[in-house]
Structure 1
Amino acid sequence: MSKIEQTVEIPHLGGSRVGCTFARPYDPALPTLVLINSYTTSAELYRPQFADPALASAVNLLALEPYGHGRTRASYRHFTYWDSAVANLQALAALGIREAFVLGTSQGGWVAVRMALLAPDIVKGLIALGTSMDSESERSRELGCWDGIGFNTPLIDDLAEPVGEDWVVPDDVVDAVFDTAMGGLPAEERAFWLAAYRANYAGDAGRRRLRLSTVNLRDRDGLHGRLDDVHCPVLWLHGTADRVYSVANAQAEIRMFTRSPEARLEIIEGGQHFLSASHPAEVDSAAVDFVKRWA
């Protein structure tokens, strides 16, 4: 069955529209697994998960796109990851979903944790993929993480001035994201994402969304002082080939979830930063096991 794409209206940020994608019609008898995509991608990041019949039959798969990404739009011009967490919770309420497990890739991981902090009665478990709970700090770089300030600042500077409505995101921006997150892409997959990015980031409004998404990535607040207030189980999957955030950082941060009933790190050999895309079989199997255990 083909996936179901829609948007829901919520009140946050002066009124917003949140992009939602279901794998199939919602079944209230099944637990829900929310999927939150990584920087500048969209719900399409989770095509392998939507195509997995075992995963789609075990849970309601629901991808929610953060502010600045995909089909999600706000009336107000500025937003943060906290806003995306609030928007996701309001989207769940609008859809009539009272509780969910939440999986997030990279930035999706810290949006997921923010959701659990804001609404512990709704978020029943967290699955973090290739993420970090820190700001872009010197500490994280010392542990082998990327230089997020150096990566993002040139793009923020390049996107500072208004552009015409014929503008689309440059190909080299897309290539830089996927070279870093996936070690590059085969030609067909690259063509898919170039088309997706050109659709999502076009004209001056697209430039503004791309720039603010990049500002958020570079300038976000860290969560270390809040992680002991997460009370749901946490499963963190991290690839050994992740070029952005290191296994060493994941090993340090998983221990900060001191009040979770279980906080477990699993290392995926050869896994890339966009782990659900590079190693979908391992991610999907772990997600099914985790939800079945804690639902």
Structure 2
Amino acid sequence: MQLPVLQLLSLTNGVQLGYRSAPAVPKSDLPTLVLLHPFITDSSFFEPQFTDPQLADQKWNMIAVDIHGHGNTTGRDEFTYWDTATDVGLLLDHFDIPKATFCGTSQGGFIATRLALQRPRLVNRIVYAGSSILVETAESKASITYLTTDFPYIEENLALVNKAGFGVDINSPDATQREIDAGNHWIATWKERYGGSPENEARMVKVTNQLLERDDIVPRVGELDVKIDVMHGELDEIYTVDVHANGTRAVLEANDLLGSFEIVPGGAHYLSWGKWERVNAKLVEIMKLKNKRGEHHHRD
């Protein structure tokens, strides 16, 4: 199995949405899993999901989307996570998919939760794989601001951003070849995508502002009608277990929305990449459960 080719879909609102899908044309009569990637990556981030036979075995649709400001999605000069949520909903409408399960890593979870607020009946379940329902703390905001200042022109910061996400220093003798290859790939991508021109530099400012200035949805959690499974890396330096995992758990439990809670040993922030086996096993469990129940047949 291999990573599906990137496709572009022209939405009814003028957006060109980049996405990858297995099968290439999603089938409306199958359950659907939507994968939403973390900060400054794109839909190719989910190669460990698309290439795992246990998950990508065609018993359900798997779709990964390029979030605005990332990858090949275009059509909005200004954007928030609400906008990507809207456009993901339009993609599902295009393929006549009535309901989907979502897995979001970092900002991907923010988008899935916002879509659940926009269109509750479209969202079957959400898996946070290194995400949070909270806004940035003062500490995380300061750290992200520091690391993204003059990005991607400070080599030291490129390595630090990669380490913060993937949890490994690619120059360390302990780094595996897989980790080194991924780090080099994303650093090269960041330089090309966010550097070299005023337009690319402006793009970086926009995606950073989208992350740091996102609105607080905790006051609206009572409007949600979807279970959220929380998987969080034990070693997550961006969203720590103490603050974000436990804080998210408390909010969800208070509103009877917590599906399950798991701290993954050795896991870093980009959990669905570093600990893909555990995340994929959870996704298989959930997709089989939803398929058995037939809950994907409901419509908005």
Query: What's the TM-score once normalised by structure 2's chain length?
Result: 0.84
Q: Does 1:18 align with 2:14?
A: no
Q: Does 1:219 align with 2:213?
A: yes
Q: Distance in 2 between matches of 1:152 and 1:281?
A: 28
**Aligned with 1:112: secondary structure?**
helix
Q: Which runs of 4+ in 1 moved over 6 A?
A: none
Where does residue 188 of structure 1 map in the other structure? 181
Cα distance in 2 for partners of 1:204, 1:181 equals 26
**Which residue of structure 2 aligns with residue 152 of structure 1?**
144
Bigger Cα displacement from structure 2, 210-219 vs 148-157: 148-157
Deviations 1:34-56 (A, max 9, x none): 00000001112111001101101
* Residues in 2 aligned to 1:252 and 1:155: alpha-carbon distance in whole angstroms: 24
Deviations 1:107-131 (A, max 9, x none): 1111110011111111111011111
Retained in 2: the 8 A contact 1:104–1:110? Answer: yes
Checking the alignment, whether the CA contact within 8 Å between 2:147 and 2:161 is kept in structure 1 is no
Q: In 2, distance between residues paired with 1:261 and 1:154?
A: 34
Shift in CA distance, 224/135, structure 1 to aligned 2, threshold 3 Å: same
Match of 2:297?
A: none
Structure 2: how far apart are the matches of 1:174 and 1:8? 32
Q: CA deviation at 1:217?
A: 1.4
Amino acid at match of 1:153: T
Distance 1:34 1:174 in 2: 29
Partner Cα distance (1:228, 1:27) in 2: 32
SS of 1:103's equivalent?
Answer: strand
For 1:224, give the aligned amino acid: V
Residues 249 and 258, structure 2, Cα contact 8 Å, conserved in 1: no
Structure 1's 243 and 206: CA in aligned 2 closer, same or farther, altered over 3 A? same
Check the 8 A contact 1:254/1:264 in 2, yes or no: no
Please state if 1:293 is matched with 2:289. yes
Gaps of 5+ in 1: 139-146, 160-167
Can you list the C-alpha shifts for 1:90-114, whole angstroms capped at 9, x where unaligned? 1222233221111100011111100
What RMSD in Å do the two structures reach over aligned CA positions? 2.2
Identity of aligned residues (%): 29
260-269 or 112-121, larger mean C-alpha shift: 260-269
Structure 1 pair 225–54 and aligned structure 2 pair: CA distance change class (3 A): same
CA distance in 1, matches of 2:290, 2:74: 33
Contact 1:230 1:260 in 2 (8 A): no
Q: Which residue of 1 aligns with 2:194?
A: 201
State the 1:5 CA deviation: 1.8
